[in-house]
């Protein structure tokens, strides 16, 4: 049995969970998420947990078992607490600002400002040199954070660019440092 798939999903207080013929709706204080469960999986709802099971031991079904258990768990946490990713930026002339919650305008050393318009479920906020991407869908929050980071990844010599808060970029020695230490 799948190690992740067999774990029960705890029902969070303030979150409603409805299942109708494989169509799952999870509603909480932050919003609503909808999932379609494959026919090979079954849900069993107890008073304070949800248990997911599968009807066959095929490799694909074992994989879907763990996947959908985690997707439901992430949706539960998303509609109750929400998800967020933080990005840090560093560089001369690099700036970011929000226009409303949905639009992010950044100056990243290009000849033009970079403007990003997020979907309704994603919000941006900027405080000093930290951009926060928040929302209820974990996958969407992570994808938007990755898209922003991809605009100007950290370069290895000076450390300029966009990086995740907890990321430690690889630093390289410059040409001068190699010349000093490489004598024979």
What is d(CA 63, CA 52) in angstroms, rounded to the nearest whole number? 13
What is d(CA 47, CA 64) in angstroms, rounded to the nearest whole number? 24
Q: Which fold has domain 83-164?
A: Outer Surface Protein A; domain 3 (3.90.930)
pTM of the model: 0.86
Residue 93 CA to its chain's centroid (Å): 28
Q: Which residues pair with 48 in a beta bridge?
A: none
Question: Residues 135-155: what's their mean pLDDT?
Answer: 95
What is d(CA 31, CA 59) in angstroms, rounded to the nearest whole number? 34
SS3 111: coil
- In tens, the pLDDT along 92-103 reads 999 999 998 889
Question: pLDDT at position 2, please?
Answer: 57
- In tens, the pLDDT along 98-122 reads 998 889 999 999 999 999 999 998 9
Domain boundaries, given as residue ranges, for the chain: 9-80, 83-164
Strand order in the sheet with 31-36: 16-20, 23-28, 31-36
- Average confidence score pLDDT of the chain: 91
Q: Among candidates 132, 129, 147, which has minimal Cα distance to 93?
A: 129
Place of tokens 């926060």: 132
Please indicate whether the domains covering 9-80 and 83-164 agree at the CATH topology level. Answer: yes
According to CATH, what is the number of the domain 9-80? Answer: 3.90.930.12
């Amino acid at each position: 049995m799948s190690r992740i798939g067999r774990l029960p999903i705890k029902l969070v207080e303030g979150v409603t969970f409805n299942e109708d013929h494989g169509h799952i709706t999870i509603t909480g204080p932050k919003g609503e998420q909808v999932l379609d469960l494959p026919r090979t999986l079954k849900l069993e709802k107890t008073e304070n947990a949800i248990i997911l099971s599968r009807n066959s031991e095929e490799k694909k079904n074992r994989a879907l078992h763990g996947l959908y258990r985690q997707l439901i768990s992430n949706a539960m946490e998303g509609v109750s607490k929400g998800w967020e990713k933080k990005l840090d930026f560093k560089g001369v002339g690099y700036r970011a600002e929000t226009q409303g919650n949905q639009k992010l305008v950044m100056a990243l050393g290009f000849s033009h400002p970079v403007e990003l318009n997020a979907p309704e479920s994603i919000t941006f906020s900027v405080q000093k040199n930290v951009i926060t991407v928040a929302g209820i869908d974990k996958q969407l929050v992570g994808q938007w954070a990755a898209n922003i980071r991809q605009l100007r990844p950290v370069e290895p010599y000076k450390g300029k660019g966009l990086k995740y808060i907890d990321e430690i970029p690889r630093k390289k020695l410059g040409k001068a440092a190699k010349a000093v230490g490489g004598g024979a």
